[in-house]
Amino acid sequence: MTLTTRMLTRETWDDFAVLVEANNGVWGGCWCMGFHPEGVGAGHTREGNREAKRRHVMRGTVHQALVYDGERCVGWCQFGPPPELPNIKNRRVYDRGIDDLPDWRIGCIFTNTKDRGRGVAAAAVAAALGEIRQAGGGVVEAYPEQTEDRPPQRGAYLHTGPEELFARYGFTRVRKIAKWRWVMRTTV
């Protein structure tokens, strides 16, 4: 599999949409809106989430590296400054222990169910960090899941990605915000 990357823009929206549709909207219709200011859940519909995401893309208020296998979009890594992605998981615990906000954070990471275990997420994170570097760099935070000392987890349960994936790119643990979730940081 030869992987390439592009950013999510109005030109690549259709490729992204095909991937989301093929995965039942991702988590039943999130459309990768969970970390954006609008959030998801009560009062939100699958169609509303799709439209909200499309609006962000058309307005340019989203940063998201897409991974392609040939012409097929197979995964992504969402990133952005904290105001663009305020709704991280375990936010209450996160807010309680906060010293300073990062310049950037990694939000949602996702690989097509049929393409897991082939380096798609690794390519997505590498592309996101490359974009951050080009945009001036800074402190980057991710909120991945610990897999060490834990029974093996299917990728489906690693909502924010495995710790090893981020450690590979220089992220180190800062503090724990849930039983299996850490704040990790690197400087780009």
Ligand X SMILES: CC(C)(COP(=O)(O)OP(=O)(O)OC[C@H]1O[C@@H](n2cnc3c(N)ncnc32)[C@H](O)[C@@H]1OP(=O)(O)O)[C@@H](O)C(=O)NCCC(=O)NCCS
Residue 83 interacts with ligand X (CB under 6 A): yes or no: no
Report the residue number, 38 or 100, with the smaller CB distance to ligand X.
Answer: 38
Q: For residues 160 and 43, what is the distance between their CA atoms, to the nearest angstrom? A: 24
What's the min distance (Å) between Cβ of 136 and ligand X?
26
Q: Which of 162, 181, 182, 183 binds ligand X (CB under 6 A)?
A: 162
Count CA within 13 A, CB hemisphere, residue 96: 8
Report the residue number, 168 or 175, with the smaller CB distance to ligand X.
Answer: 168
Helix (H) or strand (E) holding 107: strand 104-111
Matching residue, tokens 């807010």 = 95
Instruction: Please write down the long-range contacts of 55-62, taking CB distance under 8 Å and 24 or more positions apart.
Output: 57/8, 57/9, 57/10, 57/13, 57/16, 58/10, 58/13, 60/9, 62/8, 62/36
Q: Which of 33, 128, 161, 171 binds ligand X (CB under 6 A)?
A: 161
Count residues binding ligand X (CB under 6 A).
26
Residue 110 interacts with ligand X (CB under 6 A): yes or no: yes
Residue 156 interacts with ligand X (CB under 6 A): yes or no: yes
Q: Which of 8, 73, 108, 126 binds ligand X (CB under 6 A)?
A: 108
The answer to whether the CB of 132 falls within 8 A of the CB of 105 is no
> Contact region for ligand X (CB under 6 A) — 38-46, 47-55, 57-65, 151-159?
151-159
Residue 159 interacts with ligand X (CB under 6 A): yes or no: yes
Distances (CA, A) of 11 to 18, 60, 92, 97: 13, 12, 36, 40
Q: For residues 166 and 45, what is the distance between their CA atoms, to the nearest angstrom? A: 32
> Contact region for ligand X (CB under 6 A) — 38-46, 52-60, 91-99, 108-116?
108-116
Q: What is the dihedral sign for C-alpha 34, 36, 42, 46?
A: negative
Q: Which residue(s) pair with 78 in the sheet?
A: 64
Q: Which of 54, 116, 173, 176 binds ligand X (CB under 6 A)?
A: 116
Residue 186 interacts with ligand X (CB under 6 A): yes or no: no
- Chain residues in the site for ligand X (CB under 6 A): 26-27, 34, 75, 108-111, 116-122, 147, 153-156, 158-159, 161-162, 164-165
